[in-house]
A = this chain, B = another copy of it.
């Protein structure tokens, strides 16, 4: 029997990059900062976005595109707070730009202030895929151990911010925020480090302030600079 043959052209990668760049540029013009949120399963991505929405309380227009292999549980958790579209990948281990654009088109507005893309829970594969974001944020919970930056270097090298989540569990686990900051900055010296507890609200104002400042720096600077 002849083997079935799949042919893959490298051009696909260039087309994907151009697609992500096009989406980023379109959203930039609309004043929308796109934030790609990545972590292991269960690090608290959804809880962080709930806390973010509560903190802003309508002061910014915020939407979430949430990715999972299966179920719409995360979208259901977010729906009381923000406009949200669930993307189920049917088993695929990361999000790609075509699915993100399709999901975006289902949102009721186009001119958001912040668009969050909650990626599939996976500290490996999503690091290799540009989904049109301006900012890539990796979450690491205190219960996962502070040895993760060296063990998952690409995720930390390609991120601009590290959110250390589940601060409330710090007394019960062997984890040092200082050690993880030092290790992560060996890999990515410019990394912003933001310790947060989504449950009791510690650090949420600083996290939201970081996003607001980043949006001003990246998108609004030229517009708002007095002439």
Give chain A's interface residues, CB within 8 Å of chain B.
Answer: 3-11, 40-42, 68-71, 73, 91, 93, 120-125, 141, 143-145, 147-148, 150-154, 166, 168-169, 172-173
Contacts and interface: CB of A to CB of B under 8 A. Distances in A.
Contacts of A68: 151
Given A7-B7, A10-B4, A122-B122, A42 B145 contact: yes
A87 to B, nearest CB: 13
Contacts of A141: 42, 143
Contacts of A147: 71, 73
A131 to B, nearest CB: 17
A203 to B, nearest CB: 18
A121 B40 contact: yes
Contacts of A7: 5-7
How many of these chains are in the complex?
2
Contact of A69 (B40, B69, B153): B153
A73 B150 contact: yes
B9 A150 contact: no
Contact of A3 (B10, B143, B151, B154): B10
Given A70-B151, A120-B124, A42 B143 contact: yes
A78 to B, nearest CB: 14
Given A41-B151, A120-B124, 8 more contacts: A3-B10, A5-B9, A41-B144, A69-B152, A69-B153, A69-B154, A169-B169, A172-B172
Given A68-B151, A153-B69, A124 B93 contact: yes
Contacts of A120: 124
Contacts of A143: 42, 141, 143, 166, 169
A42 B148 contact: yes
A40 B143 CA distance: 12
A71 B151 CA distance: 6
A88 to B, nearest CB: 10
A148 B41 contact: yes
